[in-house]
Amino acid sequence: MAKNYLLIYSEQLATNIELLCQTVKAPSNTLFQIRKSSSSVYANIREANYGQSKADMLSKFEIALKECSETEGWLQLLYNTKVIEETTYKNHRNLCGRIRRMLIASCKTLKEPHND
């Protein structure tokens, strides 16, 4: 069976963000929001794997894409406010970028007419 790298990377992102939140000092609302957005990426990608239709799968991927962008925004805020170091920021941001690119490609494929 082929590995589902989108699922693997999204689980890694949610786990990494949870571990990060357990170690940094930041406003509780910020930590809540980044936890929520990163775990939503993972949850929506998992749900998409069992979508009721291609439209349902596309919807879940599009939600995951928005949540991934939100996670990147929270990471940027944590970096800008010196809560996390540049290396930590870049590592997490790069993982978000990888997931985002995969989601964009998946959405594009699902929208192609010959995929019905």
Number of domains the chain contains: 1
pLDDT of residue 103: 98
Quote helix, strand, coil % in the chain, to nearest 5. 80, 0, 20
pTM of the shown model: 0.93
Q: What is the pLDDT of residue 116?
A: 53
For residue 54, the domain's CATH number is 1.20.1440.60
Mean pLDDT by 10 residues, the chain (116 residues): 92 98 96 98 96 94 98 98 98 98 97 75
Name 47's Cβ contacts closer than 8 Å, sequence gap at least 6.
Answer: 60
Which pLDDT score, from 0 to 100, does residue 84 have? 98
Whole-Å CA distances, 98 to 14, 26, 95, 114: 14, 26, 5, 26
Q: Domain limits at 61?
A: 5-23+30-115
Write down the pLDDT at residue 51: 84
Nearest to 17 by CA among 103, 86, 88: 88
